[in-house]
Structure 1
Amino acid sequence: MKLNRYFKYSEFEKGLDQILNRSKNHSWQKSVIGKSVLGKSIYGLKFGSGNNHVLIWSQMHGNESTSTRALIRLLDSDFFHQFEQNLELYIIPVLNPDGCDFWTRNNANNVDLNRDAIDLSQPESKILRTAIDDFQPDFCLNLHDQRTIYGNDSGTLPAQFSFLAPAGDAEKTISGARLKAMSLINSIAGAINLESAYVGRYGDDFNINCIGDYCMSRGIPIVLFEGGHAGQDYDREEAAQLYENALKIALTKLSNDLKLQSRDEIVDGYNEIPSIAQTYTDILLKQVSDARGSRQDLAIMYREVIDGDRLWFIPVITDIDQEQIKNAHRVLDAAHLSFEELDLLIEECGVVQSTSFSIRSFYK
């Protein structure tokens, strides 16, 4: 089964049922583990009988669907069955179904579920906490997408995948649980091959309200996955394939018991993964002339808008001559054009269109 980057939650539910009803998937146990703010069923899938318990959840941010698509593809294969004796898996494929439908980061109460680990103000947050308390995972995989703004510090490469072994305290202690998370990340990062992008490392500032930091504070190893962007992959097809590969590597390692190197080797390997920085934009239109003849660089980002069943990408000017922005997924040069020759149509809200530069809205 294949899901587009934007899909209705009902489409996901229908596809999941079709997959689990096939004979090769009868060993999965599906249950309703709670309801969203708007009353949608949230599902838990359990599989396997191994002693190593792995809890995976996806799309706690509703507009981050790449990991859900990767999970669906893996569920629609026989990949998981090799782990039946070694792992017990508990998967929550969509934690935020209301956000999934609305294409919003937050839930229907406009709360970021990844900032609600302690307050537990939302039903979806309580569902996840119950899963953690009842399942008692030996390892957690927290699956996300990241925006198109991330690249390396120099802006020479975009970050197409990023990872984080969260801190469990303000001192950022390298605990045993955190070492395990770092070791798994090192294994994944070392096995992913990217041609025109890189694997990055998220910052580890501590926030106990983030679910990763909360889990690590309890001594539960957890890895944050962040599927990223490179080039014109706005349907995130390349990213979904990378996600599949990353999950395969992670679960294979966990099923064989994660073999730890020395503490220094693990930490050094983890720190060698380059950090991410907000050095990218979607389109960088360079040396644009204004009416006075001076030239400026325009940073353009796509605003994601749902219209019916389609996800539209609307180009909007977000910055002018911003030093932090060093590169873009598409770089255009207007130095050869005078102000009178430009065909930029810029609305008051910042939406921009150009026929000559092929800057326009599109949908996926």
Structure 2
Amino acid sequence: MKLNKRSISSLFLLFLFFAYGCDQASKTSPESIPLETLQNAHEQFLEGAITHRRFKHEDLQPLIQKHSDAFEIAVLGNSVEGRSISSLDWGQGETKVMLWSQMHGNESTATMALFDLFNFLKASGDEFDPIRQTLMENLKIKFIPMINPDGAEAFKRRNALDIDLNRDAISQISPEAVILKGARDSFEPEFGFNLHDQQIYYNVENTPKQATISVLAPGYNYERDINEVRGRAMKTIVGMNEVLQQLIPGQVGKYDDGFEPRAFGDNIQKWGTSTILIESGGYNGDPEKQYIRKLNFMIILNALHQIAKKGYEAYTVDQYFEIPDNGFQLMDLILQEVQVPVEGSLYPVDIAIRRRESNAGPTYSVTGNVEDLGDMQVYFGLEELDATGLKFTEGKVYEQAFESVDEITVDKTMELLRSGYIAVKVKNGQAGDLHQLPIVVLQSTDKFSFGWKTGSNPTFFLSDGNTLRYAVVNGYLIDLENPKDQLIKQRVY
């Protein structure tokens, strides 16, 4: 087996993080809910009406109202475009906890988990009753499941004013920001959960491990001081990490704690609420984040139980700092040592590719982009290919137009690719329509821009001089000899 530039150091780091994960998994707080119980709870109370991460405000309203018999539901106000922002209150205890989700409209993973949690808290008469009773008697919980409904409508980060709500905690320009701060000020929670999604390209620093969940007890000043309020958040996070290391060992990162004076998490910590940030990243084979949804449910439920029982007091701030930091070193695909032609000579370069999502009606498409090239040894690919000896080769557009995308089979696509055609034309359909074929489909143009340089769409072949070995189509790698099933989400050009 050939070892590339970083193989030895990567293997050593993986060993260290595996050992860290095993060590953490062996530690169990007396106030932790058993892992099997958490898993069974999610399986039984999964909200079946939500099956993917792109849902809208209107989809949640009947799900909120179905809990009106068990939760105190209130409309806190309306968004810029007039959509309601609701809270659901539950519990009779003295310790107040507030959880808010989807401050950024396209960060919906935790929102799904909250609706699973609503189902759990509403139920009764089963083996989970002791957990519910502990929470009911000790906690009063306020949930705000969608702070930015206008952003969710378009599945974008910012609100209808194009403002990032997480930079509006002080100026309070947006009505949504006014609502969130007002809820915090009137409720005065002791604990707060700030629920977000992060890019899938975050890793556990200097390892190829994807940061599936990242955590943070935000700083409340530039000095990053630790007072009792922030310390409680740190200790609670240690308990969450204890659960996660049993499920995704080595895939938990600690988010950067640099103070951001405009951010809600930092300021809510400053205002006296022990604030816990959960960032949902990526997990292999989980594009709709349904497994990460489960992880959110499990760590939130366990954290609420530990807060109710003050189990977080068993942990230390030092344990929080043992959680490794996040990195931003992941790429969707890294092609190592590709021979690229320049001025009649060939140069071996690593090509690092990311695939970005773009909204396309009710779903999304993917657009590949060459992020960087040269020596990419400091990055890790979710998929990597040692392309030593393989040469960049341009593809052709098939001359004969098909009637529609539906006429093109996967077998026909592979036949065309093996013959050097990387794009096809169709007569019918609309530019922007989605398809799942591993080839470029053209409707409004006869040409397609591609290349290997930074900023280019990575669409080309890799050949060994005589034979086409691989196709790279919009950033997806296709082995022409042994193609595999891939979730390809392209648009018609």
Partner SS state of residue 172, structure 1: coil
Residue in structure 2 matching 1:14, options 33, 37, 62 = 62
Shift of 1:76: 2.5
1:356 aligns to 2:404 (yes or no): no
Q: Give 1:264-303 correspondences, 5 Å limit.
A: 266-291=316-341, 292-303=345-356
**Counterpart for residue 215 of structure 2:** 163
Shift of 1:148: 1.2
1:204 aligns to 2:251 (yes or no): no
Q: 1:148 to 1:68 in 2, by over 3 A?
A: same
Structure 2 length as normaliser, TM-score? 0.68
Which one-letter code corresponds to 2:369 in the other structure?
V
Shift of 1:236: 1.1
Which 10-residue stretch deviates more, 65-74 or 314-323? 314-323
Q: State whether residues 199 and 274 of structure 1, in contact with CA within 8 Å, keep that contact through their aligned partners in structure 2.
A: yes
Partner SS state of residue 27, structure 1: coil
Shift of 1:65: 0.7
**In structure 2, how many angstroms separate the alpha carbons of the residues matched to 1:267 and 1:227?**
23
Which of 1 and 2 has greater Rg?
2
Q: State whether residues 280 and 325 of structure 1, in contact with CA within 8 Å, keep that contact through their aligned partners in structure 2.
A: no
**Counterpart for residue 383 of structure 2:** 330
Q: Give 1:3-42 correspondences, 5 Å limit.
A: 3-17=51-65, 19-20=66-67, 26-42=69-85
1:191 aligns to 2:243 (yes or no): yes
Shift of 1:15: 3.2
**In structure 1, how many angstroms separate the alpha carbons of the residues matched to 2:386 and 2:210?**
20
CA shift digits 1:289-343 (9 cap, x unpaired)? 2123212222222211121111223222222236475212222333242223877
Which 10-residue stretch deviates more, 351-360 or 279-288? 351-360
Which 10-residue stretch deviates more, 236-245 or 323-332? 323-332
Q: State whether residues 37 and 109 of structure 1, in contact with CA within 8 Å, keep that contact through their aligned partners in structure 2.
A: yes
Q: State whether residues 204 and 252 of structure 2, in contact with CA within 8 Å, keep that contact through their aligned partners in structure 1.
A: no
Q: 1:212 to 1:322 in 2, by over 3 A?
A: farther
**In structure 2, how many angstroms separate the alpha carbons of the residues matched to 1:90 and 1:59?**
15
Which 10-residue stretch deviates more, 122-131 or 31-40? 31-40
CA shift digits 1:29-58 (9 cap, x unpaired)? 112111111111111111111101100000
Q: State whether residues 204 and 250 of structure 2, in contact with CA within 8 Å, keep that contact through their aligned partners in structure 1.
A: no
Which one-letter code corresponds to 1:48 in the other structure?
G
Q: 1:315 to 1:44 in 2, by over 3 A?
A: same
1:252 aligns to 2:302 (yes or no): no
Q: State whether residues 286 and 333 of structure 1, in contact with CA within 8 Å, keep that contact through their aligned partners in structure 2.
A: yes
1:64 aligns to 2:107 (yes or no): yes
Q: Give 1:34-113 correspondences, 5 Å limit.
A: 34-77=77-120, 78=123, 81-82=132-133, 83-113=135-165
Q: State whether residues 278 and 325 of structure 1, in contact with CA within 8 Å, keep that contact through their aligned partners in structure 2.
A: no
Partner SS state of residue 51, structure 2: coil
**In structure 1, how many angstroms separate the alpha carbons of the residues matched to 2:371 and 2:174?**
32
Percentage of identical aligned residues:
32
**In structure 1, how many angstroms separate the alpha carbons of the residues matched to 2:58 and 2:365?**
20
**Counterpart for residue 287 of structure 2:** 234
